[in-house]
Amino acid sequence: MRSRYWTDEREPEMARGRFVALALITAMLATGASQPAATAEAPLRVLPLGDSITDGGADGGYRSDLWHFFQADGRSVDFVGSRSGGPAHLGDKDHEGWPSMTIQWINDNVVDRIPSLAPDVILLHIGTNDLGDDTSIAGAPERLRNLIDRITTKAPSAKLYVASIIPIADNTKNRRVLAYNATIPGIVGSFASAGKNVSFVDMNSAVPAVELADGVHPTYGGYSKMAARWYSAILGTPMLRYEAEATANAALSGDAIRRIDGDRSSGGQRVGYIDVPNSSTLTFTVYAGKTGPHRAYIRGGNGMTTPCSHFLSVNGGPASTVTYPNYGWEQWGVVGVTVNLNAGPNTLRFTKGDCYTEIDALDLTTSA
């Protein structure tokens, strides 16, 4: 990894090269390649920017699962920032998440260092600390507009994704969240219309209020939903999450297998004890809008001393092997596989492979 303060006069050209590489890998996914070939291009430099929701504490927030999404697709990524934090299995801990800080604080204290970080992608989630009262929210949209203007001026070649902020459990404060969020698409649209490299990401709908750990910050599972929404935006392909414990689209059968409560699990539960070969089965019913290869990302946790696996059968076809890293129980990794689906409903059936792994959720690209 290069120093996060590295700069080079060739950076705009190198940034374009990285996006070309990203586009080529995306095209490879569409052809059904299960593991994209390595690229000699420099890693995509991603700047996570915001307040404590970007910092994420000891678990690394959304940054942990986001890094694993990149790894699942064999993509080279370099998180950049002047701060560092996260769990051992987060391979790159750099970020610019500043707890308790506001839009104006980020503008005054962080934006000037962005050129030295040389990001290709900036992920901006900011505004939660601006919504303490009705007076503070009144000027928040204009402060956001000024922040976007400065970022796009300081880093014109970077792709800036601006998110609506996630819910707050308190009803009065959440009313301010909704009012603030309603202004963001128009603000972002005005910059995009002016030729700026800016896009809006609907993050508010990604995290349900029941997955707020303290009324403001997501649970570990809620952060995983943020990661999937960010990755979907970067990939340029919508993704839909299927919870392993959801009876509407995930069926359990056979011996031992059961749903297990866990505050680190997406949706508050996971599926474990997939212990008996050919008997303990977890079957997702997923929907595809078009026949062809889709990318599936399985969030698995393995507390054994070695990587473990499941056998995956799509629509009753021959089984393939899905192997998960051993980070620990409820220390989730993301494994990516390409599955060929039919338009309409499809089944993805998981059975025991080597040793033991729990499954928390599955994210699936919604278009071929």
Q: Is the pLDDT of residue 8 over 80?
A: no
User: Closest Cα partner for 314 from 32, 13, 120?
Assistant: 32
**pLDDT for the residue 10:** 32
- Return the closest-CA partner of residue 364 out of 264, 260, 246, 237: 237
| Tokens read off for 172 | 């009065």
Mean pLDDT of the region 250-259: 94
Q: Shortest CA distance to 122 belongs to which of 176, 163, 182?
A: 163
Cα distances from 266 to residues 242, 244, 331, in angstroms, run: 10, 9, 12
Helix (H) or strand (E) holding 286: strand 281-288
The β-bridge partners of 96 are 49
User: If you average pLDDT over residues 185-211, what whole number do you get?
Assistant: 97
**The two structure tokens encoding residue 132:** 């303490």
Where residue 208 falls among pLDDT bands split at 50, 70, 90? very high
Please name the residue that has the structure tokens 């649970």: 219
Select from 112, 192, 168, 180 the least CA-distant residue to 142.
Answer: 180
Burial class of residue 236, CB neighbours in 10 A (0-12, 13-18, 19+): exposed
User: How does DSSP classify residue 356?
Assistant: -
- From 248, 301, 243, select the one nearest 274 (Cα to Cα): 301
Could you count the other beta carbons within 10 Å of the beta carbon of residue 287? 15
Q: Considering only CA atoms, which of 189, 356, 204 is closest in space to residue 277?
A: 356
Beta bridge partners of 323: 309
Q: What is the pLDDT of residues 301-350, one digit of tens each?
A: 999 999 999 999 999 999 999 999 999 999 999 999 999 999 999 999 99
pTM of the full structure: 0.89
Question: Is the pLDDT reported for residue 228 higher than 50?
Answer: yes
Write out the H or E segment, with its range, that includes residue 229: helix 220-235
10 Å Cβ neighbour count for 338? 20
The 10s digit of each residue's pLDDT in 325-338 is: 999 999 999 999 99
Q: What is the mean pLDDT of the chain?
A: 90
Q: Could you report the per-residue pLDDT of 66-107, keeping only the tens digit for each?
A: 999 999 999 999 999 999 999 999 999 999 999 999 999 999
Q: Exposure of 167 by Cβ count < 10 A (0-12 exposed, 13-18 middle, 19+ buried)?
A: buried
Can you say how many angstroms the Cα of residue 142 is from the centroid of all Cα atoms in its chain? 28
Percent of the chain with pLDDT over 90: 84
- Quote the tokens at residue 228: 């999937």
Query: pLDDT tens digit string along 255-310?
Result: 889 999 988 999 999 999 999 998 999 999 999 999 999 999 999 999 999 999 99
